[in-house]
Amino acid sequence: MKTFLRSAFLVMVLSIPGSSLNAEELWKAIPDPAPLPKPEASGLAPVNDIKMYYEIYNSSGGDPVILLHGGGGSTLNWGNQVPALTKNHKVIAADSRGHGRSTRSEQPFSYHLMASDVLALMDYLKVEKASIVGWSDGGIIGIDIAINHPERLNKLLAYGANYNVSGVDPGLESNPIFAAVMTKLAADYQKLSPTPGDFDNFVKAVSVMWMSQPDFKPEELARIKAPTLIADGQYEEGIKPEHTAELARLIPGAKLVIIPNVSHLGLWQDPIAFNKVMVDFLDTQ
C-alpha cells in the first residue's frame, strides 16, 4: 500500500496475491478465527465502574496497537490478526464492558462510555498513545476517541463502522448470516462471561444503544487529525456502502479500502487480505 497521504481520499478494491479471493461466495462463510496465541500478560483492570479484561502480546515490541472487537464479540475474534501485528507492535486486545470476560454495571451502554473505558485501560497499563484497529462497534469506539482525545491516538483503522444509525441496512435484522453469527457469539459469551446465562439480557441492553447510536456530526468527524483508514467488505451486510464512503469523505485525509469478496466478517473470511490492509496502514509513515 502506498504511503499515507493526509490530502488524499482514496477508494481501493484490492487484489492481493496469495489470498483466497477466488473462493466462491466467500462472503457467505462464517469461519472460526484462529486460536489466539498465549498472551504475555492478561487480567481484569479496574476501569470506571467495571473490571475490563485485557491481553498483552509482544510487550517489548514497537508502537502499541489496541484491538477492539465488534458488538457481542470478544478478544477471541482477533486470532487471525494478533500474529500479524506482533512482528512490529505491542498488541493489546480488550473485551468491551459486558462483553467477553469484562463485567458491566447498571450504566446504559454507550459508545462514549466504552471509549472512556479504553482510555482508562490505557492509563492503567501506562500506555500514553496507541493506534486502534476496531471492528464494527470497536471502530465506532475508535472514532469517538479520535474525535474527543486525539492526543491518545496514533492511527485509526475502523472496519464495518457507521457514524449514525441511518447507515445501518434495514435488512440486517432478517439477515441469516448475522443470525448465525449471533449464535456463535452467544456460545463464546457463555464460555467467557462472568454471567454466562445472561446473554439475552445483555443483547437487550446493548440493543438500546444500537437503536440510537452512534450519532457523530460532520463537524465532529472533521476534527479528526489522526491518520485514518475506513475499511469494509465488498458484500457488507450491515452498513450501507454509500454510508461507509461518506464516513471516509467526512474525515480529513481518510482512506477508504473495500476488500473484495468478503462481508462484515472480512477479518475471518480473508485474513490474508485483511491483515495486509491493516499492516500496510499501520507500518507506513
pLDDT in tens, 164-182: 999 999 998 888 988 999 9
Q: Which residues contact 79 (CB under 8 A, 6 or more apart)?
A: 33, 34, 35, 36
Confirm whether 86 is domain-assigned: yes
Query: How many Cα atoms within 13 Å fall on the side-chain side of residue 214?
Result: 28
Q: What percent of the chain has pLDDT over 70?
A: 92
Average pLDDT over residues 90-97: 98
pLDDT at 24: 60
Which phi and psi (to 5°) does residue 260 adopt?
Answer: -75, 150
Cell digits of residue 157 = 483503522
Confirm whether 2 is domain-assigned: no
Confirm whether 218 is domain-assigned: yes
Looking up cell 450519532, which residue turns up? Answer: 215
Q: Which residues contact 70 (CB under 8 A, 6 or more apart)?
A: 77, 135, 136, 137, 138, 160
Closest listed residue to residue 227, CA positions, set 170, 142, 169: 142
Confirm whether 5 is domain-assigned: no
Q: Is the pLDDT of residue 6 over 50?
A: no
Confirm whether 3 is domain-assigned: no
Residue-number span of the structural domain to which 65 is assigned: 11-283
Average pLDDT over residues 65-83: 98
Provide the mean pLDDT of the chain: 92
pLDDT at 16: 39
CA separation for the pair 213, 211 (Å, rounded)? 6
210: CATH = 3.40.50.1820
Average pLDDT over residues 50-61: 97
Q: Are 232 and 159 in contact (CB under 8 A)?
A: yes
Which phi and psi (to 5°) does residue 198 adopt?
Answer: -105, 20
Angle, CA 244 vertex, CA 120 and CA 27 arms, to 5°: 100
Which phi and psi (to 5°) does residue 130 adopt?
Answer: -150, 165
Confirm whether 162 is domain-assigned: yes
41-47 vs 50-57, strand pairing mode:
antiparallel
Q: Is the pLDDT of residue 279 over 60?
A: yes
Confirm whether 4 is domain-assigned: no
Burial class of residue 7 (count of CB atoms within 10 Å of its CB; 0-12, 13-18, 19+): exposed
Confirm whether 149 is domain-assigned: yes
Give the total number of structural domains in the chain. 1
Closest listed residue to residue 26, CA positions, set 224, 266, 280: 266
